[in-house]
Structure 1
Amino acid sequence: MTTILFAAGQRAWPVWQAPLRAALVEAGIDADLTLEAAPEDVDVMIYAPGGDTPADFTPFTNCRLVQSLWAGVERIAPNPTLTQPLCRMVDPGLTQGMVEYVVGHVLRAHLGVEAVKSAQRARDWAPVIPPLASERPVAILGLGALGAACGRALVGLGFQVLGWSRTARQIDGITCYHGTAGLRDVLEKAEIVVTLLPATAGTENTLNADTLALLPRGAAIINPGRGSLIDDDALLAALDSGQIGHATLDVFRSEPLPQDHRYWAHPNVTVTPHIAADTRPGTAARVVAENIRRMLTGDPLLNLVDRSAGY
């Protein structure tokens, strides 16, 4: 029997317990799924960082898999005590949620909803006629599983989609760029920018005073990726000057967003409370079970984290 420790917090246990048990049965895995176990008995750890979850992986000497319930692993991967294979969460529900969030807010920016609302408040009959999607360049910064899925969805709606990643990628329908020069090329063209990069030392402040200045005046920013991707002071300055027309922000360096933060009251900022791509137990449990099955049979693990890259 495989001992599986649910180390994602006691508050999450009631939500995850039934879907995980059902997925394990469906995958034919004989398992003891538990909240408590002697560290040396644990074969698999289902993990999310938090106040009541282990921070020291050293005692888990026989653990062969740490499966994160989060897509981002920047709070897990750097842990020097973690020597076990770590897999991040990529599941259909999470991906679909991100696609819906990005498409919805790209369309909101594309259609000029903020200008429409402003005209309505002023009782001003001022038609806002956007260009066709085919005339609107949208940049996706980050072409992993989530970025690629969002880019394909936008291509399906007719947008000009420009994709950027640090290494070269090829995705049908998306004009892909990479490297420092590629980032400049993308930003100089993009009227809407979606940031979906991982949080690493190399991606911190990807959008800063210099890169924001490359964008066409009045461009929109949508960040459902990581708070560290944006220099907050630079973005606020760009919003104040009109260089950036609107920012929709779902992730922040400090969460919950502090009550006195300028983003809350800025007229050209939309704040959403980290909702773009929540992990949904019903679909994610099957991903967890499949990775455990792969571990037991020796098949390649899904979404294995590259420690050197940080994701």
Structure 2
Amino acid sequence: MTINVLFAATEARWQDYRAPLTEAFREHDLDVSLKTDLPPEEVDYIVYAPNSAVQDFTPFTRCKAVLNLWAGVEGIVGNETLTMPLARMVDPALTRGMVEWVAGHVLRHHLEIDYFLARQQGEWCPRVPPLASERSVTILGLGELGTACGQTLADLGFPVTGWSRSPKRIEGIATVHGDDGLDAALAQAQILVLLLPKTPETENVLDADALARLPRGAAVINPGRGHLIDDEALLAALDAGTVGHATLDVFREEPLPADHPFWSHERVTVTPHIASETRPASASRVIAENIRRGEEGEPLLHLVDRDRGY
């Protein structure tokens, strides 16, 4: 029997995903009709991006699951019309891309590369950075991405502390949780990496009080969500020297407005939301596997907990 899959995303995404999804369905031996326009009552699965025109899920009476193309689900999880299972994207290539970006910028700050780049004027500056074992890294958020980044950094020799809302045990990472754990994690964070989801509980988790708990001169790296940081508090901490440098890949408004102070601040590095992107080929295989599971009565992968918001 043919499985009807609605691709509900932008035209640009359709052009990127049409061929990889078709190939992934073939590899999984799925008989799929993949279209961008199907009668709602005939749709079995929705491959979805939150900026899609589909915002009311009520007409999709036969739909078995909504499969998000993005890792973040804050743009859809609160939709009261979405009553069917919702799966977020956990793409191995997305995880790998995040690991590489985070490791690269942690090493950049650790090796003080910016310091040396600023002194390429014939000035000999024999300033030796500490070893990784002498530079503590804290990661806020121990989901798929935070765990992978933390373990990679631990393998490089950094002492890594990871914070999460609930208790976790992860090989190679010293884990803490709760409010007391957050205070302890911040207090030792010479390099702080933010990889929390966007939820009401994580809004402005890095506010003025949290920034004040960091060791003086700490580096802040945010490839997670722009809403995790109080921008004004961060700028004040940078000006005061409490924070030595901030490398930011995500922002409250994207693209980052041309007149935003982050662009011109000498202690801020801006990257244009490139830390990790879903790759169509590998993401399509994740989607196809979930549809196969749905059709064979197996549990879907990466289901979203509506109460927690991710």
TM-score range, shorter chain: over 0.9
Matches within 5 A, 1:45-56: 45-50=46-51, 52-56=52-56
Aligned residue-pair number: 309
Are positions 1:8 and 2:19 aligned together?
no
Q: 2:197, 2:122 → 1: CA distance?
A: 43
Deviation at 1:25, TM superposition (A): 0.7
Deviation at 1:14, TM superposition (A): 1.2
Q: In the alignment, what sits opposite 2:142? A: 143
SS in 2 for 1:270: strand
Percent identity over the alignment?
A: 59
Structure 1 residue ranges, 4+ long, deviating more than 4 angstroms after superposition? none
Q: In the alignment, what sits opposite 2:75? A: 75
Matches within 5 A, 1:155-304: 155-304=154-303
Q: In the alignment, what sits opposite 1:106? A: 106
Maintained 8 Å contact 1:112/1:128: no
AA at the equivalent of 2:94: L
Pairwise CA RMSD:
0.8
Q: What 5-or-longer segments of structure 1 have no aligned partner?
A: none
Matches within 5 A, 1:87-102: 87-102=87-102
Maintained 8 Å contact 1:115/1:128: no
SS in 2 for 1:28: coil
Maintained 8 Å contact 1:195/1:224: yes
AA at the equivalent of 2:39: A
Q: 1:212, 1:268 → 2: CA distance?
A: 15
AA at the equivalent of 2:85: P
Q: 1:41, 1:124 → 2: CA distance?
A: 70
Q: What 5-or-longer segments of structure 2 have no aligned partner?
A: none
Maintained 8 Å contact 1:239/1:245: yes
Q: 2:20, 2:104 → 1: CA distance?
A: 29
SS in 2 for 1:304: coil
Deviation at 1:9, TM superposition (A): 1.4
Q: 1:127, 1:228 → 2: CA distance?
A: 39
TM-score computed with the length of structure 1 as normaliser: 0.98
Q: 1:128, 1:229 → 2: CA distance?
A: 33
TM-score computed with the length of structure 2 as normaliser: 0.98
